């Protein structure tokens, strides 16, 4: 009997296949950082994670054109797979692992667009042991996904609106969706320090991520809320005062177009993991658990 993943509500991946996807990711990830080759990263990464990794590899390759043979391999162990049942494509699952980099848990979101496509990691979030939430798991061991688009009546916020709401908040400070924290009120406070200084002034432009490449993914939690991963885009233009000239780092220079005579504009991509409360929760505010950001482009003027 043939099971059609585009029509049937089935697990996104067989439990025996998930470790193979994680191993393939780790093997190719280590090879890409040993050779400093963005093309290799594209074999096992996609979306915001690939944007950040490819730019990082490009910058490092400019400094080490022969690669980095001394790169310490990433090792991921104690993998716990959170696999939802889903209808249609794309499908996703989460690998919750330990790493040899720190004492935290690394949560990798793997996605693919069809049965003949390879699994690729789209999101990475690094959480402390205590921050990893309890997922809603059925009697057969399967998780429950949250729709990426459309209203989700049982949640305090819509996953597909988080990127727009977050970037609007960063730009204006308006909105009551997000709880105070380093990625919200803390980020706005730190930005204010650089709006105008004796040497330079800074402009910030934050925009929502759009398109299937940056689609949010979510998993229902045991308390009725959800863990949602989403992407956002950020630009920062730093213009020097008279008598000063920009002095970008070698990593920024490797990503730069134009010549930095007066200003430098940095383009960043961030990927975030947030806890969205249930609709009837006492506190409906979205809490950031992790936010990873990387420079993906630079422009000198």
Q: What is the 3-state secondary structure (H, E, C) of 130-180?
A: HHCCCECECCCCCEEEECCCCCCCCECCCHHHHHHHHHHHHHHCCCCCECC
Tokens of 68: 């980095």
| Per-residue pLDDT tens digits for 205-245 | 999 999 999 999 999 999 999 999 999 999 999 999 999 99
The predicted model gives 77-87 an average pLDDT of 97
H or E element, residue 56: helix 47-63
Residue 31 has pLDDT above 80, yes or no: yes
Global pTM reads 0.95
Determine the Cα–Cα distance for residues 43 and 182; give it in Å rounded to an integer: 33
What are the E-state strand segments in 67-131?
A: 76-82, 84-86, 91-99, 105-112, 120-127
| Per-residue pLDDT tens digits for 94-110 | 999 999 999 999 999 99
Determine the Cα–Cα distance for residues 25 and 34; give it in Å rounded to an integer: 14
In this prediction, residue 1 has a pLDDT band, given cuts at 50, 70 and 90, of very low
Residue 152 has pLDDT above 80, yes or no: no
Determine the Cα–Cα distance for residues 7 and 87; give it in Å rounded to an integer: 6
Tokens of 182: 């380093």
Helix (H, G, I), strand (E, B) or coil at 50: helix
């Amino acid at each position: 009997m043939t099971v059609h993943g585009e029509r049937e509500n089935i697990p996104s991946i067989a439990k025996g296949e998930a470790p193979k996807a994680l191993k393939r990711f780790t093997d190719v990830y280590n090879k890409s950082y040993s050779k400093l080759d963005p093309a290799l990263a594209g074999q096992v990464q996609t979306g915001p994670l690939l944007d950040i990794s490819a730019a990082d590899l490009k910058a490092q390759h400019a400094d080490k054109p022969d690669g980095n043979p001394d790169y310490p391999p990433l090792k991921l162990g104690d993998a716990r797979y959170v696999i939802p049942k889903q209808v249609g494509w794309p499908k996703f699952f989460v690998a919750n692992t330990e790493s040899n980099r720190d004492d935290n848990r690394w949560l990798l979101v793997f996605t693919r667009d069809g049965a003949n496509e390879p699994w690729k990691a789209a999101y990475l979030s690094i959480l402390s042991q205590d921050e990893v939430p309890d997922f809603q798991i059925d009697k057969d061991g399967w998780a429950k996904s949250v729709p990426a688009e459309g209203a989700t009546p049982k949640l305090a916020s819509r996953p597909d609106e988080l990127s727009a709401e977050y970037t609007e908040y960063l730009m204006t400070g308006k909105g009551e969706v997000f709880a105070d924290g380093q990625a919200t009120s803390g980020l706005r406070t730190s930005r204010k320090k650089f709006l105008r200084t004796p040497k330079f002034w800074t402009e910030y432009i934050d925009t929502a991520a759009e398109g299937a490449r940056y689609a949010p993914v979510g998993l229902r939690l045991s308390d009725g809320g959800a863990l949602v991963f989403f992407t956002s885009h950020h630009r920062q233009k730093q213009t020097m005062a008279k008598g000063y000239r920009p002095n970008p780092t070698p990593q920024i220079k490797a990503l730069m177009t134009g010549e930095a005579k007066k200003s430098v504009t940095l383009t960043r991509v961030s990927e975030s993991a947030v806890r969205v409360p249930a609709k009837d929760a006492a506190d409906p505010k979205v809490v950031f658990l992790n936010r990873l950001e990387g420079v993906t482009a630079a422009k000198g003027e």
